[in-house]
Amino acid sequence: MGAPAPVRIGNCSGFYGDRLSAMREMLVGGELDYLTGDYLAELTMLILGRDRMKHPERGYAKTFLTQLEECLGLAQDRGVRIVANAGGLNPAGLADAVRALAERLGVPVRVAYVDGDDLSPRAEELGLGKPLTANAYLGAWGIVDCLNAGADVVVTGRVTDASVTVGPAAAHFGWGRTDYDQLAGAVVAGHVIECGIQATGGNFSFFTEIPDLSYAGFPLAEIHADGSSVITKHPGTGGLVSVDTVTAQLLYEITGARYANPDVTARMDTIELSSDGDDRVRVSGVAGEPPPPTLKVSLNSIGGFRNSMTFVLTGLDIDAKAALVRRQLEDALTVKPAELEWTLARTDHEDADTEEAASALLRCVVRDPDPANVGRQFSSAAVELALASYPGFTVTAPPGDGQVYGVFTPGFVDAAKVRHTAVHADGTRIEIPCATDTLELEPADAPALPEPLAGTPTRRVPLGRIAAARSGDKGGSANVGVWVRTDEQWRWLANTLTVELLKDLLPETAHLPVTRHLLPNLRAVNFVIDGILGQGVAYQARFDPQAKGLGEWLRSRHVDIPEGLL
Are 124 and 256 contained in the same domain?
A: yes
Provide the pairing of β-strand 219-223 with 281-284.
Answer: unpaired
- Name the residue among 230, 409, 425, 413 with its Cα closest to residue 302: 409
Q: Which helix (H) or strand (E) segment is 406 a member of? A: strand 403-414
Q: Which residue among 407, 423, 445 closes a domain?
A: 407
Provide the pairing of β-strand 81-84 with 34-37.
Answer: parallel
How many other C-beta atoms lie within 10 A of the C-beta of residue 333?
Answer: 15
CA–CA gap between residue 500 and residue 514 (Å, rounded): 9
Say if 96 falls within a structural domain: yes
On whether the pTM is more than 0.85, the answer is yes
Q: CB neighbours of 468 closer than 8 A, spacing ≥ 6? A: 204, 205, 206, 244, 247, 248, 482, 483, 484, 555
Say if 450 falls within a structural domain: no
* 37 beta partners: 84
CA–CA gap between residue 58 and residue 69 (Å, rounded): 18
Q: Which residue among 373, 407, 441 closes a domain?
A: 407
Say if 441 falls within a structural domain: no
Are 427 and 504 contained in the same domain?
A: no
- Name the residue among 463, 459, 528 with its Cα closest to residue 493: 463
Are 196 and 215 contained in the same domain?
A: yes
| DSSP sequence for 189-242 | HHHHHTTGGGGTTTT-TTGGGSTTGGGBPPEEEEE-TTS-EEEEE-TT-BS---
Quote the DSSP letter at residue 308. E
Are 51 and 175 contained in the same domain?
A: yes
Domain tally, the chain:
3
pLDDT at 1: 60
Phi, psi of 415 (to 5 degrees): -60, -30
Q: In what order do the strands lie in the sheet with 524-529?
A: 468-474, 477-483, 524-529, 514-519
Using CB atoms within 10 A of its CB, is residue 383 exposed (0-12), middle (13-18) or buried (19+)?
Answer: middle
* 304 beta partners: 405
Are 462 and 425 contained in the same domain?
A: no
CA–CA gap between residue 120 and residue 237 (Å, rounded): 42
Say if 323 falls within a structural domain: yes
- Three-point CA angle 219, 239, 82, nearest 5°: 20
CA–CA gap between residue 476 and residue 383 (Å, rounded): 32
Are 414 and 497 contained in the same domain?
A: no
CA–CA gap between residue 497 and residue 463 (Å, rounded): 10
Q: Both ends of the chain: CA-CA distance in Å?
A: 50
Are 109 and 144 contained in the same domain?
A: yes
Domain with 535, as residue range(s), is 458-565
Q: Using the CB atoms, write b or e for 340-372: b if 16+ within 10 Å.
A: beeebeeebeeeeeeeeebbbbbebbbbbeebe
Are 358 and 232 contained in the same domain?
A: no
pLDDT at 56: 85
Say if 552 falls within a structural domain: yes
Are 222 and 359 contained in the same domain?
A: no
Are 418 and 487 contained in the same domain?
A: no
Are 307 and 286 contained in the same domain?
A: no
Q: CB neighbours of 277 closer than 8 A, spacing ≥ 6? A: none
pLDDT at 111: 98
Say if 1 falls within a structural domain: no
> Can you give the CATH number for the domain in which 386 is found?
3.30.70
Residue pair 234/200 in contact by the 8 Å Cβ criterion: no
Q: pLDDT below 70 — which residues of the chain?
A: 1
pLDDT at 550: 97
Are 356 and 493 contained in the same domain?
A: no
Q: Is 559 left (phi over 0), alpha (psi -120 to 50) or beta?
A: beta
Say if 437 falls within a structural domain: no
Q: CB neighbours of 507 closer than 8 A, spacing ≥ 6? A: none
| DSSP sequence for 260-295 | E-SS-EEEGGG-EEEE-STT-EEEE--EEEPPPSEE
Say if 47 falls within a structural domain: yes
